[in-house]
Structure 1
Amino acid sequence: MLTRGLSKTSLQKLPFTPAIVYLAIGFLLGPSVLHLFYFDPIEQSALLESLTEIAILISLFSAGVKMPVPFRLKKWRLPLKLASLSMMITIGLIAAFSYFVLNLHIGAGVLLGAILAPTDPVLATDAQSRYPGDRDQLRFTLTCEAGINDGSAFPFVMLGLGLLGLHDLGGWGWQWLLKDVVWATSAATLIGIAGGIMAGRIVWKLRGRQYKHDVLDDLVGLGLIAIVYGMSLLLNAWGFLAVFFAAVALRHTELKLAQTIGVTAEQLGGGVEERQNTQETNIEADDETLPTIVSAEALVFKEHLERLSELMLVLLVGGMLMLDFWNWRTISLALFVFLIARPLSVWIGWLHTQTSWRFQGTVAWFGVRGIGSLYYLMYAIQHGIPQTMARDLTQLTLIVIALSILVHGISVKPVINSLEDKTR
């Protein structure tokens, strides 16, 4: 951690993402090379589930507060299609590949598809929105997709577990459809939106225009995450969705209230960007200090936690890799996911959307798999999948994650920089 903190500038100058460095260090220290440590994902699945869960929650909140305001269905249509239709197509394609090529049980195939289908909000930050209100359509699409599909994949994880006899689907799947799809998804969305609106209004009322009452923005953000996630667990809703939409609603509410005193979303978004780049805090608008908002002020702290969790978890991924994990089954699955399942699902999901081939191709390529997939794998192990199947799914998932870190980490900076240069 000390080395990471001291080497921030050096890592930013690298032509690839820092996650590649973490993965390489973990691999060198792990059982494949120096054998200084080995983290067994099966034996430590409970711990790893908790660690990945925390990392995802923080990342989802960070992604949510970067969403542009106000909400417009036309702008959100593309990522919503990716997080729903395209994700279901990806799950189906991976399940078919697992069944016909890898000889997995159909339930294990569906489970593996649900594990690998969601794109990752933790490892894909270089291709995602850089600051609140970032108007870049490509970055918004990738950020919004990752924010939503880490929750929308949950019903299909439960479907896979149900097909393995580890979850009650009900007759003809009606219980799964009503409880795990309709209820859990809609309830999570409502819990998140209500929580974000309430938090935004309470803080605005306490703080006031003259800042008579100080508020610890970082703790408010963490508290909001805890409340909406805990409420979702109590009501059997998908907490990941609730946290993302709570962050979106919090930012929307705060900016709507700020506009009542003549401050625009662009002013607040620009102020946050400048504070993040220069660490200046005396940004002014209309000769008055811009109002402090939780969704912006807590973001820097959340991003620091996000970077810390990325460092720790990717090191562990490297330390979990064994040489015999690299075989035709794992590598062929990774190639299928990156080169067939993801591009095909994006193309089908975006039929008749009039998006350019360049835009579709870039989005199709940056379907980064990472910490979210690791969480779902640990969740499935904790829910009792047989140990032999757990070992097999672990090998397949870890190699897909490792190769995603490598191929996407190498390509993200040159591709994104090239696209941004052409739009200037």
Structure 2
Amino acid sequence: MRLLHLGYALVGVLAVLLAFWSSAIRRAPVSEPLLALVLGVLAGPVFGLIDLRHHAASGLMLEAARILLAISLMAVALRFPLSDYRSVIRQVGVLLTVAMVGMAVVTAGLAWLILGVPLALAVLLGACLTPTDPVLASSIVSGGPAERQLPGRLRQVISGESGANDGLAFVFVVLALIPAAHTASGQAREAVWGVLGAVLVGLVVGYAAGRAVCAAEAREDVEEGSLLIFAVVLAVAALGVARLLHTDAILAVFVTGLVYNGVIGDESRASEQELDDALTRYLVLPLFFLLGVEVPWRDWLDLGWPGGAFAVAVLLLRRFPVVLALRPALGMPRRDVVFLGWFGPIGVSALFYLTYSREEGARDWRLWAAGSLVVVVSTIAHGVTATLGRRWYAARSSTLRG
């Protein structure tokens, strides 16, 4: 327990420092998750201050990732008016169908060719690493610098994709677990119910919550600050209901947020940006700190050079060529497609599905070793390039206007 308390203290100190220097951090070529990851590495493998048991760390990471994803997806669903999301439904639809399948196939192929793992494990790795992470994506598309440097339409596409594909990845992972973990073929029915049940839960919970807020506002019983807290509580509530019904809880939360967004309308959305900022700056810190503490150095060394080659190949080939090839279907300018192709970070959602797969019986050590290495490399690469990428986009836009 003392080890956890030390972790609380370190993360708390980091959060305080980030609060003091928040503007400078936003302008610097680093991200909050990256700083938390570095702190975890220093506290764990480097100085040996914290050494959690593997089983305990796995359980903590699974539940922390689940809750963080829920709150993150609620923030994504409320980031823009629902009408703005409708305007990019074509682009998001292409990314959620053709691009998502393409990314899963490319990643699985890279795992099979470079790591030499069995095809079933390669397919599971591809499924776990496919979704674009909404938490890391939030640090790219939210906040003052993002609003000034990126057009709203591009931010909406990234937000909509990162919100929806985390839940849809559940289908990929559940089906991939059948051969990889030797689970029953009934998993296919679980995947179907996962999507249908999640949509049903989201419709019911989101509509009920939205009507309740509208009724409270009509009586002038609700304040802006309480709406912020309510959004967080609503995410956790939808997560719990979906879990009890054994459906896709991650997708259920996102659908709940979208329905709630549509019911309450624009006038009730004043505090959603605060939720975005709180999420990307503070709520993400404990999970990436825990990842830093538990990075499997010995397993990475056992992977050898193929492990590093796989991580770099996934970063370069998993998304960018697929999105670039889909430019005609996306109907977006080249600079938008280039930005969209690079900024598809792999983070919390991948950690969730990797630990979920392990809990469901996928015991091959290479799953967590290779997957966690990709997450760390993505966190570093996208954290360092987020500010530089936004500046490049803004400069490119100014040049074209000139």
Q: Normalising by structure 1, what TM-score?
A: 0.81
Secondary structure of the corresponding residue to residue 73 of structure 2:
helix
Q: Does 1:358 align with 2:335?
A: yes
Which has the larger displacement, 391-400 or 66-75? 66-75
- CA distance in 2 between partners of 1:70 and 1:233 (Å): 29
Match in the other structure for 2:79: 66
On the 8 A contact 1:68/1:135 being kept in 2, the answer is no
Letter in 1 for 2:284: E
On the 8 A contact 2:124/2:180 being kept in 1, the answer is no
Which has the larger displacement, 33-42 or 146-155? 33-42
* Alignment of structure 1 residues 175-324 onto 2, 5 Å: 176=188, 178-181=189-192, 183-208=193-218, 211-212=220-221, 216-255=226-265, 265=266, 268=267, 293=268, 295-297=269-271, 300-301=274-275, 303-305=277-279, 307-324=281-298
The structure with the greater share of residues assigned to helix is 2
* Alignment of structure 1 residues 39-78 onto 2, 5 Å: 39=52, 41-70=54-83, 73-78=86-91
Match in the other structure for 1:17: 31
Match in the other structure for 2:8: none
1:311-343 deviation digits (Å, cap 9, x = unpaired)? 111122222225442532221111221211211
- CA distance in 2 between partners of 1:112 and 1:41 (Å): 20
- CA distance in 2 between partners of 1:297 and 1:72 (Å): 18
1:148-171 deviation digits (Å, cap 9, x = unpaired)? 11101011111121012443225x
Q: Aligned to 1:379, which of 338, 350, 356?
A: 356
Against the structure 1 CA distance between its residues 353 and 344, is the aligned structure 2 distance closer, same or farther, given a 3 Å change threshold?
Answer: same
Give the aligned CA root-mean-square deviation in angstroms.
2.7
- CA distance in 2 between partners of 1:401 and 1:111 (Å): 15
Shift, 1:421, TM fit: 4.5
Q: Normalising by structure 2, what TM-score?
A: 0.85
Shift, 1:302, TM fit: 6.5
Secondary structure of the corresponding residue to residue 124 of structure 1:
helix
Shift, 1:243, TM fit: 0.9
Q: Does 1:2 align with 2:13?
A: yes
On the 8 A contact 2:41/2:292 being kept in 1, the answer is yes
Against the structure 1 CA distance between its residues 361 and 25, is the aligned structure 2 distance closer, same or farther, given a 3 Å change threshold?
Answer: same
- CA distance in 2 between partners of 1:355 and 1:156 (Å): 27
On the 8 A contact 1:127/1:142 being kept in 2, the answer is no
Q: Does 1:97 align with 2:125?
A: no
Structure 1, unaligned stretches of length 5 or more? 256-264, 269-292
1:338-395 deviation digits (Å, cap 9, x = unpaired)? 2112113223444433322221111111110111111111111111222xx1x22221
Q: Aligned to 2:121, which of 108, 129, 134?
A: 108
Letter in 1 for 2:351: L
Identical counterparts, % of pairs: 25
On the 8 A contact 1:83/1:148 being kept in 2, the answer is yes
Against the structure 1 CA distance between its residues 128 and 308, is the aligned structure 2 distance closer, same or farther, given a 3 Å change threshold?
Answer: same
On the 8 A contact 2:181/2:361 being kept in 1, the answer is no
Which has the greater radius of gyration? 1
On the 8 A contact 2:51/2:293 being kept in 1, the answer is yes
Against the structure 1 CA distance between its residues 333 and 70, is the aligned structure 2 distance closer, same or farther, given a 3 Å change threshold?
Answer: same
Count of residues paired in the alignment: 377
Against the structure 1 CA distance between its residues 94 and 204, is the aligned structure 2 distance closer, same or farther, given a 3 Å change threshold?
Answer: same
Against the structure 1 CA distance between its residues 417 and 189, is the aligned structure 2 distance closer, same or farther, given a 3 Å change threshold?
Answer: farther
- CA distance in 1 between partners of 2:105 and 2:325 (Å): 13
Against the structure 1 CA distance between its residues 18 and 226, is the aligned structure 2 distance closer, same or farther, given a 3 Å change threshold?
Answer: closer
Secondary structure of the corresponding residue to residue 30 of structure 2:
coil
1:217-245 deviation digits (Å, cap 9, x = unpaired)? 24432342233223322333211111112
- CA distance in 2 between partners of 1:130 and 1:69 (Å): 19
1:260-293 deviation digits (Å, cap 9, x = unpaired)? xxxxx4xx5xxxxxxxxxxxxxxxxxxxxxxxx2
Shift, 1:21, TM fit: 2.2
Structure 2, unaligned stretches of length 5 or more? 1-11
Match in the other structure for 1:139: 155
On the 8 A contact 2:88/2:156 being kept in 1, the answer is no
Q: Does 1:339 align with 2:350?
A: no
Secondary structure of the corresponding residue to residue 236 of structure 1:
coil
Match in the other structure for 1:404: 378
Secondary structure of the corresponding residue to residue 271 of structure 2:
helix
Against the structure 1 CA distance between its residues 219 and 406, is the aligned structure 2 distance closer, same or farther, given a 3 Å change threshold?
Answer: closer
Shift, 1:95, TM fit: 1.5
- CA distance in 2 between partners of 1:167 and 1:9 (Å): 49
